[in-house]
Structure 1
Amino acid sequence: MTVTRTETTQRRPRADGQRNRARILEAALRLFVERGPDAPFTEIAKQAGVGVGTVYRHFPAREDLIEAAYRSELDAVCAAAAELLEQAPPQDALRIWMDRFVDYWATKIGLTEAIGAVVAAGRDPFAQSRGRVDEAVGTLLAATSAAGVTRPEVEPDDVVVSLSGIAMVAPVLQDRDQVSRVLDLLYEGIRARP
């Protein structure tokens, strides 16, 4: 049996294309947070080390790039849950991830104006965000509960809501030590009792 390649077969992106895309998203994220949604594509391209045509090839519209930059951060925070569980004991992985979530939220707040442009274009960049974060927290809680560290009845969404509240006030506190202490209080609140 001969397998023929059809025009509808999707090719896997080349490694250099994937690297370029990742560098573009990193530069765009930084510039959208610093300068808002009107950060020039030429500057994004320069900071990513690619030509401006490469930026447009990956992201034909500004809203495409803004949404992709936000989603790349969401992907990173969600992927961090499983990665941390491979690198550290469950109780450490959960606590480290809580800090990572606060950093993610700070970026999300920094992108508020840029994301507003995406919403104004009729898109919903947050459509699956909460569900994905709940799933990441669920993975961490399953591991910590199995290890006897956290209470099994703790709901992932309750933790996400609590973390979101802490993350929202973190910029106002301007004291990372206080943020860490508040996260410790939340962490202690979900721990299993002997």
Structure 2
Amino acid sequence: MGEAEPKIARKPRADAIRNRERVLDAAKVVFSAGGPDASLDAVARRAGVGIGTLYRHFPTREALFEAVYRREVDQLGDFAEELKGEPDPVKALRRWLGANVDLVSTKKGMLAALAIASYGSCDLYAYSFERLTRAIGLLLARAVEAGEIRDDVSAEDLLRALVGMCYLHDQVGWQANVVRLMDVFVDGLLVRKPG
């Protein structure tokens, strides 16, 4: 008897990929506004798909929360790659830090669900911390090599400072406050040129 032929994984159809992306876009908006209790029906309506389509892509609420968060983290990692071509490395670092505030804003609306999604496993947190640390490290290293930023701060230090600032602010308009505070923080890291 011959060996069974290996199954060849089919690529998802283009419409299935579009539906998945629309669900993720809609979920980010709905979850950011409504937190962990936001309705999955609201996500499906906003995405323009049926609830069955949503569940085919994301069988549980937690799977959807995790997918939204992972996509945001990946987009920030990709954004750091784009910014490494920016002529001003300090400006690139500031732009990335500002973009990170949006991720934290999304995550704040999903904290309870993310805790459920990652219960018993630190994979989600480990993944995001590693990916974001690598991204910020890329931009920080460019600024240090250019002689613009002091070399005694690590990517992990900078990421922890940003996250700490984000979680200390819960009032309306906190995002603008955090961006302003991060600018002050980055100003404190600038190398002082003899003048």
TM-score by length of 2: 0.83
- 1:115 is matched with 114
Flag the 1:142–1:174 CA change in 2: closer, same or farther, 3 A.
same
Deviation at 1:126, TM superposition (A): 1.4
One-letter amino acid of the counterpart of residue 97, structure 1: W
What does 1:11-50 align with in structure 2 at a 5 Å threshold? 11-50=10-49
User: Is residue 143–residue 149 contact of structure 2 (8 Å, CA) maintained in 1?
Assistant: yes
Rounded Cα–Cα distance in structure 2 between residues aligned with 1:74 and 1:151: 26
State the SS of the aligned residue for 1:128.
helix
Deviations 1:80-116 (A, max 9, x none): 2112233553221111111111221122111112223
Secondary structure of 2:168 counterpart: helix
Q: Does the 8 Å contact 1:45/1:51 carry over to 2?
A: yes
Tell me what 1:128 maps to: 127
Alignment map for 1:91-106 (pairs within 5 Å): 91-106=90-105
Deviation at 1:175, TM superposition (A): 5.6
Structure 2: 5+ residue runs without aligned partners? Answer: none
Measure how far apart 1:41 and its partner are: 2.8
For residues 146-185 of structure 1, what are the structure 2 equivalents within 5 Å?
A: 146-172=145-171, 174=173, 178-185=177-184
- Provide the residue aligned with 1:6 in structure 2: 6
The within-5 A match list for 1:53-64 is 53-64=52-63
In the alignment, which residue of structure 2 is the partner of 1:145? 144
Change (3 A) 1:193 1:110: same
Contact 2:44 2:54 in 1 (8 A): yes
2:68 aligns with 69
Looking at structure 1, the residues matched to 148 and 115 of structure 2 have their Cα atoms a distance apart, in angstroms, of: 40
Q: Gaps spanning 5+ residues in structure 1: where?
A: none
CA contact (8 A) 2:32 2:110 kept: yes
- The one-letter amino acid paired with 2:6 is T
Task: Provide the C-alpha distance between the structure 2 equivalents of 1:69 and 1:62, rounded to a whole number of angstroms.
Answer: 11
C-alpha distance in 2, partners of 1:154/1:171? 27
Identity %: 39
Q: CA–CA distance in 2 between the matches of 1:105 and 1:193?
A: 31
